[in-house]
Amino acid sequence: MSVVVLSSLDVFASDLKGPLVSPVSVPAGFPSPAQDYFTGRIDLNKHLIRDVTSTFLVRVSGHSMDGAGIADGDELVVDRSITPADGQVVIAVIDGELTIKRLRLEHGRVRLAAENPDYPDIIVPELSEVTVWGVVTRCLHHV
């Protein structure tokens, strides 16, 4: 699985405002006839981005993270200012290429885990260095 960096999200800062349909959660079951609907605007910067100067949008290519709900063609919001931790989905640099994997820190070793059994995990040799380019904070999934 690879990624293509689309842009820093600060480029889209003025475009990340859209209509807000309802100020409350929307149930997945039967709708409530008692709910009022609100027509206002929502600033997606406030909901999706913690640090606009270090946040990027990347497009996914491949299927190795299908089990994590990340599909081919999805866009990911990636924050480069977050310190990566065990269990997070990260963008890592392997042999000069960006890849998406789940970071696993085990007994002093680094494993980049795929979320699809058809793809192997990447075990980083002890003396090798892996660079985590950024931490995935959101997945914009196409339906």
Q: Is 101 a catalytic residue?
A: yes
Taking the CA of residue 92 as centre, how many other CA atoms within 13 Å lie in the half-sphere pointing to its CB? 25
In this structure, are strands 109-113 and 122-124 parallel, antiparallel, or unpaired?
antiparallel
- Residue 88's closest CA among 75, 72, 104, 76? 104
Strand partners, 104: 111
Q: Which residues contact 12 (CB under 8 A, 6 or more apart)?
A: 57
Catalytic residue among 8, 32, 64, 128: 64
The answer to whether 73 and 114 have CB atoms below 8 angstroms apart is no
Separation between Cα atoms, residue 16 and residue 100, nearest integer Å: 25
Which is the catalytic residue, given 46, 81, 101, 128?
101
| 17 in active site | no
- Would you name the residues annotated as active-site residues? 64, 101
